[in-house]
Amino acid sequence: MHDIYSSRSERGSAIIARQDPVVYGDGQHADALEREQLNSYEQDGFLVMEDIFSESETATLLDEVIRLSTDRDIAGMKEAVAEPGSEAVRSVFRVHELSERIDALARDPRLLDVARQILGSEVYIHQSRVNLKPGFKGKEFYWHSDFETWHVEDGMPSMRALSCSIMLTDNNVCNGPLMLVPGSHTQFISCEGETPDEHYKKSLKKQEFAVSQAGAGDAVIIAGKGHETYQEIKGVRTHFDDREIIKEFFDQI
């Protein structure tokens, strides 16, 4: 079968126009969002919904995330991914099945009806996770497209999916804020190279494919923070050096 979204295949890298709708069924399946919000989602590929949860709901969810990430039984499960070179939990997968509180969250109409409306049908969960992202210490999530990974590694056939991220603490420059490229949902980036066996076990800890693919004579351009060996936030300097991070990577391979 011809796969329009083939990637990590013999095709090599390419930019391919999205072949699927962004909003399905003209947004008629539910009425959680106004027409303006649907239009903005269609245009940018994301939507920020502020103050969906009260302070006390957010605090309860944060407590639950802390419980999940410090539970020794969970830390020993394959669902828990540790930070590279450490035992600190970076992510926990399948959290809607590991936690009743998160299961209830996934069924909360304030979120569920948004997904139903955008996707134009009833919905199911493909993947759930908590990402801890501790300031300065946690490894970043490099630029990536979730759909490219889900398509190639999990077999998701088309772009009839969405991601919903709930911030439990303020997102700022210190804790790796999630950054999105408006409009990038209209194109599919088909990537070079084959997927190594059990790639997800490493890539979920740290995405380092570009650097590890580099050969003699290649240059890898790193959009780093600059030449200083610190990061300054509100007058407080914390040690951080791009060169050390890259050296650490080469020392490991």
Query: What is the contact surface with ligand AKG in residues (CB under 6 A)?
Result: 129, 131, 141, 146, 176, 178
* Nearer to ligand AKG among residue 25 and residue 111 (C-beta): 111
How many angstroms separate the CA atoms of 20 and 151, rounded?
14
Query: Which residues have a Cβ under 8 Å from the Cβ of 84 and sit 6 or more positions away?
Result: 139, 205, 206, 252
Least Å distance, CB 174 to ligand AKG, is 13
Q: Least distance (Å) from ligand AKG to the CB of residue 36?
A: 26
CB of 35 to ligand AKG, least distance (A): 28
Sign of CA dihedral 216, 217, 218, 223: positive
What are 187's strand-pairing partners? 17
Instruction: For the CB of residue 228, give the shortest distance to ligand AKG in the complex, in Å.
Output: 23
Report the residue number, 37 or 131, with the smaller CB distance to ligand AKG.
Answer: 131
- Report in angstroms how near the CB of residue 62 gets to ligand AKG at its nearest: 16
Nearer to ligand AKG, 214 or 245 (CB): 245
Q: What share of the chain is helix, strand, coil (3-state, %, to 5)?
A: 35, 10, 55
**Structural contact between residues 195 and 19, judged by C-beta atoms closer than 8 angstroms:** no
Which residue's CB is nearer to ligand AKG, number 25 or number 150?
Answer: 150
Taking the least distance from each CB to ligand AKG, the nearer of 8 and 90 is: 90
Task: Report the residue number whose CB is nearest to ligand AKG.
Answer: 141
Phi, psi at residue 112, to the nearest 5°?
-55, -45
Minimum distance from residue 178 beta carbon to ligand AKG (Å): 4
Rounded to whole angstroms, the Cα distance separating 47 from 117 reads: 13
Nearer to ligand AKG, 30 or 69 (CB): 69
| Distance separating alpha carbons of residues 167 and 84, to the nearest angstrom | 23
> How many Å from the N-terminal Cα to the C-terminal Cα in the chain?
38
